[in-house]
Structure 1
Amino acid sequence: MLDAIQVLIVEDDFRIAEINRQFVNRVEGFVVAGIVKTGDEALTYLRGASDLPQLILLDVYIPDVQGLDLFWTLRNEFTEIDVIMMTAANEVETIVEALRGGIFDYMVKPVDFDRFERTLLSFRNQRHLLTTKTELMQEEIDLLTGLQITSMPPREDDERLPKGIDQLTLDKIKRILQESGESGITALDAGSNVGVSRSTARRYLEYLVSIKEADAQLKYGDIGRPERKYVPWTK
């Protein structure tokens, strides 16, 4: 099992920094390593850290640096750390430069939690894939790059699927469900494995229940709160 992913927040507005901290802590598998307000503080923190964070949430508008200068310093000096931009800057020129610099994602403020959670789950899924394998199949590479093949005609199955259900994600959810066996799987676990949010995974799992390819059971946690667990249909 992977250790918690350490996240450094670079944000000069203490209110937004606190919101970001709460967002990070709400996503399983992530923990805030630190919060800094300026470029100098960020570089001092990183240069003195015995264990570097794996991810940085970075604002473009930092008071002591110009534009994306801090971003490029981070990319050049700490190549092993991934960067997600969380900023109010939505100019195409800035976005293009950040994309060319290899950011993992670019989110424009204000950011809602569902969008934030999807990004972190996708990052965790990518990190898991890259740290547990020595070779990748083309489909796995496509999953990492987010490539969508739009020129291919839709499969016959796609035309019969309800709105909000796509065949590629459905196939991945079905595979995870089958692999879970009698122990079953929760929407949170399924989403983590596939790289989608818990609510999205639940939608797919409930669809499988509706077509009798899955069965839903109640699972009681440590504090007695029931949670739906999904198992392959066997009846």
Structure 2
Amino acid sequence: MVREINSKFLKKVDGFNLYKSVSNLTDAKEFLLIKKPDLILLDVFLPKENGIDFLKWLRSEEIEVDVILITADKTIERVQEAFRYGALDYLIKPFSFERLKEALHQFKERHYKFKKSKVIEQDELDRLIINTNSSQDEESYTKGLNKYTYKSIWDEVEKSDYKYFTAEDLSEKLGIARVTVRRYLEYMDKDKKIEKLIEYGKVGRPQYKYRKN
């Protein structure tokens, strides 16, 4: 049931296709001999098996694939083990669809950046590393804001070619609700990272536009 839910989640994220969904390590290993996915979403608790053993097998076989752990195992030992064997991210159940989407977007951005580049500068690498935000500290966020959502929105603002943009523009590009995007833009405005402009029309509510400072 959980596998089916995650599969449906994945289909809602642009740029991703589900190759295969399996419930045991034998099927997973056999499938990897046929297909070469870019990313594996891996649980720890499998019937009579442990997903971490599969992660270790991938590394010992030098199979070039990235892995995001999606599991109910919240023990520090397991989390550390996952990262030591090269997991990109670790999502503890129950998690929100937004959190999964942010993990996938982080992976996709890094994947394509590495694919088209031969060298990279430190500041760009820092921006791409999952769970890293050099300009913001988690404690600085006001209650109800999420650092992953903040980073997704800010990254889009930074690379935007628009002289001005709206919450609707970013909402459409990122697949995040407009009201959510607007909350984060208001926070960025207070933090002086962007500037808000109010455009009054002949009828209806005023339109809020933003630009980078």
Percent identity of paired positions between Structure 1 and Structure 2: 29
Greater relative contact order structure (CA < 8 Å, 6+ sep): 1
User: Residue 120 of structure 2 aligns to a residue in which SS?
Assistant: coil
Whole-angstrom CA distance in 1 between matches of 2:184 and 2:159: 12
8 Å contact from structure 1 (residues 205, 230) kept in 2: no
Matches within 5 A, 1:1-235: 15-49=1-35, 52-66=36-50, 68-145=52-129, 146-148=131-133, 164=145, 172-177=155-160, 179-181=161-163, 186-188=169-171, 191=174, 201-205=181-185, 211-212=195-196
Paired AA for residue 103 in structure 1: A
Judging by fraction of residues, say which structure has more strand: 1
- CA RMSD of the aligned region, Å? 3.9
> Deviation of residue 128 (structure 1)?
2.2
TM-score, normalised to structure 1, is: 0.65
1:184-229 CA distance string (max 9 Å, x none): 882146548xxxx5666554446678943587xxxxxxxxxxxx99
Partner AA of 1:85 in structure 2: L
Q: CA deviation at 1:44?
A: 0.7
Q: How many residues align?
A: 193
Deviations 1:107-145 (A, max 9, x none): 111222111111111111111221232222221111123
Q: Using the TM superposition, give the Cα deviation of residue 71 of structure 1 relative to its aligned residue in structure 2, in angstroms.
A: 1.6
Counterpart secondary structure, 2:115: helix
Q: Specify the code of the residue in structure 1 equivalent to 2:170.
A: A
TM-score, normalised to structure 2, is: 0.71
Structure 1: give runs of 5+ residues left out of the alignment. Answer: 1-14, 153-157, 216-227
- Partner SS for 1:30: coil
Q: Secondary structure at the match of 1:31?
A: coil
Q: Distance in 1 between matches of 2:185 and 2:163?
A: 14
Contact 1:84 1:106 in 2 (8 A): yes
